[in-house]
Amino acid sequence: MFLVAGASSGPGQLVVADLLARKMPTRVLVRSDAQVAQFEALGAEAAKGDVGDEAALVRACAGVSTVISLVGRHFADTRERLWSVDALGNAALVRAAAAAGVKRFVLLSALWADRELPPVLLAAKRYAEQALVESGMSYAILRPSTFTTGASSLVGAVGPSIERWGLAFIPRPDSQPISFITLADVAAAIVAAALDDRPSLVAELGGPEALTMAEGARRLGAVLNKKVRIVRVPRFVSSLWRRVARRRSFGAYELMLFLDMLADHGYHCDAGPARQLLGREPTGVDEALRAYYATTKLTPWRESNVGVLSTRSK
């Protein structure tokens, strides 16, 4: 029996679909009655609860051989909420799994979680990774880079403004290289890692190319047959946005920390580990963008970085 926590997330839905297609007994941990009904209709078992409820975690882990945790609250509206899920919640799930006799645990972490860099998410994932390594269970830790599509992605960063006005706002002089990877490839790698028999596996997941944000913006424009004008944003403007974001919303502040990290360090890794898990070449940026824009005319602002920056903490 597989337990997928965070099944309603983007990668979670793909992972559950893959496991069910393989006829694997699958249980999901979800938080609402509507999600219970959704996954039961697909053929999965459903356990209602969240990672803040230890009793629910114990029930969810009963009779499970492999746990897949895709739990996270990236860009949560407070630091405490992010930490309570990504760090403490994942650690609680690790404890419940170990106590239930789970044999293997797969954790979706983040690229460079092992580095001391400003985004709080990296420290939270590092905390969860350490809890897993010390648990005694067989484990796989997967650390993906930035997605090609989605809210925190190449499209999320530059798509809406290119689609509407042909403009891409890029830090001056540019970001460092980023290994954009597709959501589908990450989901496929998660399933492969769950079925892998190595007792300990830590894999960084990146796409086959390392592109700067300006290069990514031009690739996106080429797919749309649009000429892209690159607007270079001075770093003092980014610094000002970061200070404003810190007062407005933790999620917006965390996003600005990530954008500053991309400008200073990039977010790249070798494609070899992803290639090994997938058994093929990871999907390239151009192919992923063509597939996205085959069904999407305009990316909603709420699904972009602008959507994160416009939210306020409650």
For the chain, list the domains and their CATH numbers. Answer: 2-144 (3.40.50.720), 146-181+207-268+283-314 (3.90.25.10)
pLDDT one-digit tens code per residue, 180-229: 999 999 999 999 999 999 999 999 999 999 999 999 999 999 999 999 99
Nearest Cα residue to 19 out of 117, 106, 126: 106
Q: What is the pLDDT of residue 269?
A: 97
Q: What is the pLDDT of residue 313?
A: 45
Q: What is the pLDDT of residue 252?
A: 87
CA angle (89 as vertex; 106, 3 as ends), nearest 5: 40
Residue ranges of the chain with per-residue pLDDT less than 50:
313-314
Describe the crossing of helices 120-133 and 250-265 by its angle, rounded to 10 degrees: 90
Q: Record the tokens describing residue 79, joined without a space.
A: 């630091």
* Other residues' Cβ atoms within 10 Å of the Cβ of residue 1: 15
Are the CB atoms for 4 and 16 separated by under 8 Å? Answer: yes
pLDDT one-digit tens code per residue, 258-284: 999 999 999 999 999 999 999 999 999
The full DSSP string for 275-302 is HHHHTSPPPPHHHHHHHHHTT-SS--GG
Rounded-to-integer distance, Cα 124 and Cα 80, Å: 11
Nearest Cα residue to 160 out of 256, 275, 292, 11: 292
Rounded-to-integer distance, Cα 248 and Cα 266, Å: 26
Q: What is the pLDDT of residue 202?
A: 98
Identify the helix (H) or strand (E) that includes residue 27. strand 26-30
